[in-house]
């Protein structure tokens, strides 16, 4: 069953089109990430779904009903902002129960629901605290609890982890996953952080320049990018012509490109292990080495004039060193070069 449907959604600020012809369908119980760089239009989409911004064109469906004409409070969607917007004069219980009160839910049911949500969001014992007596992470939990308790058709989360420090971010990410599993709430999670999107989602939708460029499982986007831009967004800098590096796999001289992830390139010094160097290996020279912690990033120049990015663990290379490189066949991802503009 479709919980959220966006059909040909176009959104403009004045004469500037930020989102053009967007299609998106989210099924019951799915956790979908809307991923994209800063300024891609992610918040704009969430605000439009929530009813805070009118679309210029297209339709928004929630639970099968077109909601374009409905004001925000009549839509069965809850938006949770980057910075939790809580009532400072109310305590945690009152903040969480606020929406229930507005819906005239009876007191006994409200107390029961609040108790359950405090339990599953790890806020037990904090119900009578005022908001200023909570840490940033606890405040974000209250915001989540306040949204979840309403059991909306869709929960819209706008970068809810970005104000938290890295340790807490991991904990909150795990909490959102477990809340989603427990409550089966359908969620649209906005982030610009690819690792956050890849680790949390059933499905990732990548938004670039106001267009949905690819939608699929985290593994599909990471290992099978639809085009060069998607590949680059996921850190694959090596987009290369087949004719130069893989001539036998480039029939009819077609302008085909392939991508190889930096961590998938095999690299060896060329002064030992000569026995196992066959014609699948080619020469390169290490130009630059950047230590990044778990992995080290190398820039390696090749004789056809293309620089490659290679990631390896604890390498023992130095700048200027000659190396052998190889692209394992099973790690090569092919795509077509876009048509040339006339
Ligand atoms: N009220 C506004 N009036 C005019 N332009 C706006 C307005 N709000 C946002 N924009 C523009 O719309 C584009 C998309 O903004 P939006 O905030 O939706 O991006 P985003 O993907 O959420 O970015 P971030 O990750 O930085 O929050 C940007 O170019 C932004 O400058």
Q: 114-159 pLDDT, tens per residue?
A: 999 999 999 999 999 999 999 988 999 999 999 999 999 999 999 9
Indicate the top mutation candidate among 15, 35, 36, 40 to test ligand 1's pocket, ranked by most ligand atoms within 8 A of CB: 40
Confidence band, pLDDT 50/70/90 cuts, at residue 273: low
State whether the beta carbon of 41 lies less than 6 angstroms from ligand 1: yes
Point out the ligand 1 atom lying closest to the alpha carbon of residue 44.
18
Ligand 1 centroid vs 230 CA: distance in angstroms?
21
Number of Cβ within 10 Å of residue 125's Cβ equals: 9
Per-residue pLDDT band at 162 (split at 50, 70, 90) = confident
Asked if 14 and 8 count as a contact pair (C-beta separation under 8 A), the reply is no
Report helix, strand or coil for 110: helix
Atom of ligand 1 nearest to the CA of 47: 18
Measured in whole angstroms, the distance separating CA 316 from the mean position of its chain's CA atoms is 34
Best mean pLDDT range from 133-137, 163-167, 243-247: 133-137
pLDDT of the residue at 304: 87
Distances 275 to 279, 281, 302, 315 between C-alpha atoms, Å: 11, 12, 22, 21
39 lines ligand 1 (CB under 6 A): yes
In the chain, which ranges are continuous DSSP H helix?
42-50, 92-102, 107-120, 136-148, 166-183, 194-200, 218-223, 228-233, 242-245
Lateral strand order in the sheet of 239-241? 239-241, 256-259, 333-336
Return the residue whose CA atom lies nearest to atom 28 of ligand 1: 39
What span, in angstroms and rounded, lies between the C-alpha atoms of 46 and 189?
9
Residue nearest to atom 1 of ligand 1 (CA): 13
Using CA positions, which residue lies closest to atom 5 of ligand 1?
13
CA angle 92, 4, 197 (to 5 degrees): 70
């Amino acid at each position: 069953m479709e919980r959220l449907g966006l059909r040909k959604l176009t959104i403009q600020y004045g004469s500037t089109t930020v989102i053009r012809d967007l299609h998106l369908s989210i099924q019951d119980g799915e956790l979908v990430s809307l991923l994209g760089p800063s300024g891609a239009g992610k918040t704009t989409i969430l605000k439009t779904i929530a009813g805070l911004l009118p679309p210029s064109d297209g339709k928004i469906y929630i639970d099968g009903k077109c909601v374009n004409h409905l004001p925000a409070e009549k839509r069965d969607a809850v938006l949770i902002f980057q910075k939790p917007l809580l009532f400072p004069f109310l305590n945690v219980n009152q903040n969480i129960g606020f929406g229930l009160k507005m819906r005239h839910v009876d007191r006994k049911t409200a107390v029961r629901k609040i108790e359950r949500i405090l339990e599953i969001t790890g806020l037990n014992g904090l119900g009578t605290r005022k908001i200023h007596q909570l840490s940033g992470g606890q405040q974000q939990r209250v915001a989540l609890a306040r949204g979840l308790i309403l059991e909306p058709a869709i929960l819209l989360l706008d970068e809810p982890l970005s104000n938290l420090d890295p340790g807490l971010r991991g904990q909150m990410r795990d909490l959102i996953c477990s809340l989603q599993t427990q409550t089966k709430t359908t969620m649209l999670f906005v982030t610009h952080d690819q690792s956050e999107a890849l680790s949390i989602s059933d499905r990732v939708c990548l938004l670039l320049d106001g267009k949905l460029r690819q939608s699929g499982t985290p593994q599909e986007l990471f290992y099978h990018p639809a085009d060069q831009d998607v590949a680059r967004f996921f850190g694959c800098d090596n987009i290369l012509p087949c004719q130069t590096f893989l001539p036998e796999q480039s029939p009819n001289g077609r302008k085909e490109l392939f991508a190889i992830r930096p961590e998938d390139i095999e690299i060896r010094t060329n002064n030992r292990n000569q026995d196992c160097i066959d014609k699948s290996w080619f020469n390169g020279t290490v130009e630059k080495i950047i230590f990044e912690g778990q992995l080290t990033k190398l820039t390696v120049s090749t004789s056809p004039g293309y620089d490659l990015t290679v990631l390896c663990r604890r390498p023992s290379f130095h700048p200027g060193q000659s190396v052998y490189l190889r692209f394992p066949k099973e790690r090569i991802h092919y795509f077509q070069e876009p048509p040339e503009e006339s």
